Amino acid sequence: MPFALALTVVLALLAFFQIVLVLGAPLGRFAWGGQHRVLPARFRIGSLVSVLVYALIAVLAWDRVRAIDIVPGVVAQISMWIVFAYFVLGILMNAISRSKPERNTMVPVTIVLAVLAFLIAMGYGELAMAVGA
């Protein structure tokens, strides 16, 4: 369960960041390729979608560690492997960004998310729940 909690905290921070971008904060150099100081409308919509994706990922993580029961266990397990692959792709996409602030900030964040997703997909959070940790 600590891995799901850590993943949720990082995703909540990213969701806050995305919402701030939607509201027009001049932090665009950290997201979406870093080409815009203030995000244009299409990227703001993308940021809103990102918040929804983060919420879905958190739900899947909590389901995988059996803290909640929304989807069948096998669906949660497979979904977390897809989430892991999504974050690995995110590492690569952030690493090739033309924006140095985005690379320097988001690559480490996405590595953390990928590691946490990997541990959850492997079932380590589930084991902690079974042991009572």
Tell me the whole-structure pTM to 2 decimals: 0.88
CB 127: neighbour CB atoms within 10 A? 11
107: amino acid identity, one letter: V
Domain span holding position 37: 2-131
Q: Which amino acid is at 83?
A: V
pLDDT-derived band at 125, boundaries 50, 70, 90: low
pLDDT band at 130 (very low <50, low <70, confident <90, very high): low
Gap between the Cα atoms of 84 and 116, Å rounded: 8
- What value does the mean pLDDT of the chain take? 92
pLDDT band at 131 (very low <50, low <70, confident <90, very high): low
Q: Quote the number of domains for the chain.
A: 1
The answer to whether 102 touches 33, Cβ cutoff 8 Å, is yes
CA-based nearest residue to 14, from 124, 105, 120, 117: 105
Cα–Cα nearest to 87, from 46, 58, 115, 123: 115
Instruction: For residue range 62-103, list pLDDT tens digits in order.
Output: 999 999 999 998 999 999 999 999 999 999 999 999 999 999
